[in-house]
Structure 1
Amino acid sequence: MKQAESTPTLFSRLRVVLVETSRPGNIGSVARAMKTMGFGELVLVAPRFEGALEHEEAVAFASGAQDILANARIVDDIGAALEGINFAAAVSARLREFSPPVLTPRALAGQVAASPELHTALIFGNERFGLPNEIVERCNVLVNIPANPDYSSLNLAQAAQLLVYECRMAALDGQRAASQVGFHGEAASVAQIDGMYAHLEQALVAVGFLDADNPRKLMPRLKRLFARTQLETEEVNILRGIARQILARCPPRD
């Protein structure tokens, strides 16, 4: 029993990240959506107006969830927002050519609820422009809401409400995604995986497999490939060790 009680629940392992939000009301509404479903960690990346967490409209739309705003953090970039995260989920209505694996909200919720070693971030983009490709490509999965294809427009807060609802249901009911295998080791953090990509790119340039001046789509394709594997820390270390040995034998070209 003590072991079960010490296992972190999804309610303490889930972070909501809003990137460059334009409207204070949406920030307050997302805070309200989170609180109604039992989640509390909110991070804002470079909101497009000053005083985002104290803005009158944000406070009004939070409607009883002002504590979520009071405890929220504002950071300058996505790297800071993902510190301590080892499973990043980009939420987007737009599919990308080189996106990570695509999941529905329900499949995503089942997967992260069933994996207590995953510290998960749900990442939502700007109301008008969504998430840039460089953020999507560094995530483990892309979450796409299977809305009406003739009218798939969802407000930011509506999308957040849907995601945290599914996560709550999965956390309470013990749902698991059908394809979930589970990790045998510690899941690698986003920062560890980013470091691996940089190291691997250096090695590929050194051996002449990647032309740094004309990289084409090689690195996005490799990122998509590795995103499907759900890398563990030890696996990242192995890949970096391979890159290190390549660079020892083939120093970077000038």
Structure 2
Amino acid sequence: MNTPKIDNSVFKRLRFVLVETSSPGNIGAAARAIKTMGFGELVLVNPRFPDAVREEAAIAFASGAQDVLSGARVVATMEEALQDCNFAAAISARLREFSPPVVTPRAVAAQIASDAGLRAALVFGNERFGLPNELVQQCNVLINIPANPDYSSLNLAQAVQVLAYECRMAELGEGRQDSEIGFRGEMAGVAEIEGMFKHLEEALVAIEFLKPDSPKKLMPRLKRLFARTQLETEEVNILRGIARQILTPKQERKPKE
């Protein structure tokens, strides 16, 4: 009996996430950009119009990509949008002091295409305000499109098109990085990493390393540090185990075997 072949290409592992999009036309144009490059998964986080995918402008700008548009999921939070993802990339023209590592579209496309274990999301912000810092910090990397420094403003759908094109070309072979050194475990999911940070913050407060009334920039710095490591599930579990041990009263601790 022949075992059915599983399509594990980047076309099936990558989703496009639009956060608080204002214009239904931009949503439709983004759906078109996604479909032209062979992708199909679109998620909308709290769009301005709850029925945005049915708006006349969205349908008009989708121009034949109505299947992607009508299949788009509308969710209320970033956590829902990134469910089941273990890699997320924020796209922004504005660099941040405590952002994750900054990469180019081509570099991140090559990374996603060459690692079949990545279930990835590309996250785009509001047309006027972009992505807030707290959402950028939830992502593994920050993508900065190397545009004209004198006029670097891209329309939302144009930015989606650039990333979709780079990911398509990486999957088809250009810029692909297939070299691998040593063992690599399963990448930790975005929700797992966020849970680890909350647990770690609680532990740091307990040992008075972090002052909850004056946290300053410790947690953003730690997020930036760990974003560079591409945490695996087992590594997240180790860090949570350390936090759990810190939070457990000494008399209740069991020695490690």
For Structure 1 versus Structure 2, the TM-score category normalised by the shorter chain is over 0.9
CA distance in 2, matches of 1:223, 1:3: 42
The answer to whether the 8 A contact 2:53-2:70 is kept is: yes
Residues 250 and 36 (structure 1), Cα distance of their counterparts in 2 relative to 1, 3 Å cut: farther
CA distance in 2, matches of 1:146, 1:3: 44
Q: Could you say what secondary structure the match of 1:21 adopts?
A: coil
The answer to whether the 8 A contact 1:111-1:180 is kept is: no
CA distance in 2, matches of 1:33, 1:39: 9
Pairing of 1:66-215 with structure 2 (within 5 A): 66-173=66-173, 175-176=175-176, 184-215=184-215
* TM-superposed deviation, 1:178: 9.5
* TM-superposed deviation, 1:49: 1.6
The answer to whether the 8 A contact 1:103-1:143 is kept is: yes
Q: Does 1:61 align with 2:61?
A: yes
CA distance in 1, matches of 2:240, 2:14: 28
The answer to whether the 8 A contact 1:45-1:78 is kept is: yes
CA distance in 1, matches of 2:105, 2:132: 20
CA distance in 1, matches of 2:106, 2:70: 29
The answer to whether the 8 A contact 1:101-1:140 is kept is: yes
Residues 33 and 209 (structure 1), Cα distance of their counterparts in 2 relative to 1, 3 Å cut: same
Identity of aligned residues (%): 68
Q: Give the structure 1 partner of residue 227 of structure 2.
A: 227
The answer to whether the 8 A contact 2:26-2:156 is kept is: yes
The answer to whether the 8 A contact 1:206-1:250 is kept is: no
CA distance in 2, matches of 1:68, 1:11: 13
Q: Could you say what secondary structure the match of 1:6 adopts?
A: coil
Q: Does 1:236 align with 2:236?
A: yes
Partner AA of 1:112 in structure 2: I
* TM-superposed deviation, 1:176: 2.9
* TM-superposed deviation, 1:181: 6.3
The answer to whether the 8 A contact 1:113-1:175 is kept is: no
CA distance in 2, matches of 1:74, 1:240: 32
Q: Could you say what secondary structure the match of 2:121 adopts?
A: strand
Partner AA of 1:6 in structure 2: I
The answer to whether the 8 A contact 2:187-2:232 is kept is: yes
Q: Give the structure 2 partner of residue 246 of structure 1.
A: 246
CA distance in 2, matches of 1:212, 1:160: 38
The answer to whether the 8 A contact 1:46-1:77 is kept is: yes
Partner AA of 1:155 in structure 2: N
CA distance in 2, matches of 1:156, 1:179: 33
Residues 56 and 236 (structure 1), Cα distance of their counterparts in 2 relative to 1, 3 Å cut: same
Q: Give the structure 2 partner of residue 24 of structure 1.
A: 24
* TM-superposed deviation, 1:15: 0.3
Residues 183 and 70 (structure 1), Cα distance of their counterparts in 2 relative to 1, 3 Å cut: farther
RMSD: 2.0
Name structure 2 gaps, 5 residues minimum. Answer: 252-257
Name structure 1 gaps, 5 residues minimum. Answer: none
How many residues are aligned here?
A: 250
Partner AA of 2:159 in structure 1: A
The answer to whether the 8 A contact 1:107-1:177 is kept is: no
Q: Could you say what secondary structure the match of 1:60 adopts?
A: helix
CA distance in 2, matches of 1:159, 1:96: 19
Partner AA of 2:197 in structure 1: Y
TM-score normalised by the chain length of structure 1:
0.94
CA distance in 2, matches of 1:127, 1:230: 29
> Could you give the per-residue CA deviations for residues 122-154 of structure 1, whole angstroms, max 9, x where no partner exists?
000000000000000010000000001011010
The answer to whether the 8 A contact 1:90-1:136 is kept is: yes
